[in-house]
Structure 1
Amino acid sequence: MRRVATLVFAVCAFAMPAFAAPKCPIDDDAAAKAGGFVNAVTAAVKTEFSCEGAFRVLEACQFGSTTDNALADMVLTKCEPRFLPKALPATKAAYEKARAKCSKIAAKDGTMYQGQAAVCMARTARDFARKYGTRS
């Protein structure tokens, strides 16, 4: 019986799909045309119409440094207007609480933590926009 259970576990473990990180849509040609990879990613986030699309580019192309702060700010400018102006006080309080959790990441020493905190804040804004925001 143990062999059967072990076999079933092994088959299930190897048959599960692997979750891969999203692939950055910026290729070498786009980076060259924009004058560098950072410029290309910045342009891609800026030109994305939607909050969701801007966050997807940030998530897939993040740098793991303070460079992500500017990209995250761009995402915030696309996501926050979808929910924040008409949000109830309880929603605003929940949003600030979630942002405070992200800020704790930045308290650690190192620029990668600054970038992680920025991406966390952008993710939080995206999540609140999904849940409480308008479609436009």
Structure 2
Amino acid sequence: MQINAQINASSSQIRAESDRINSVIVSANADLRGHRRIYQEKQITTITEVQEANANVKIAQEELQVAQVELKSASANLRVTESALAAARTKNFEFWMLNFTTQPSDFILQSYIVLCSLLENFSLDWD
């Protein structure tokens, strides 16, 4: 009898321990499923963010290329404008020299008028 009681008590302890272990396993599996779900969500989010970042990099590269082309064009236009200005200044100088040699008094008056006009447009920025 006493042996049967001990066997029954041991069996009850084994069942209780088995139930506790099974409960721990069920809980661990639930935690694992939760962690897998979170991992998959983060993986999807990360992939989406990487794709978006790559798209933004591509757009930025295209904008940079456009800006570089526009800069080259503006530089070329500046060089053309500077050349035209230099040519105009040369022609203007030749015109003034021709007037000076033919009508010196008119040249002095016209030079004064031009100088005053230039000084009106000239400003010093002291700030």
Q: TM-score interval w.r.t. the shorter chain?
A: under 0.3
Length-normalised TM-score, structure 1: 0.25
Larger Rg: 2
**Greater fraction of residues in helix:** 2
Q: Which has the higher contact order (CA 8 A, sep 6+)?
A: 1
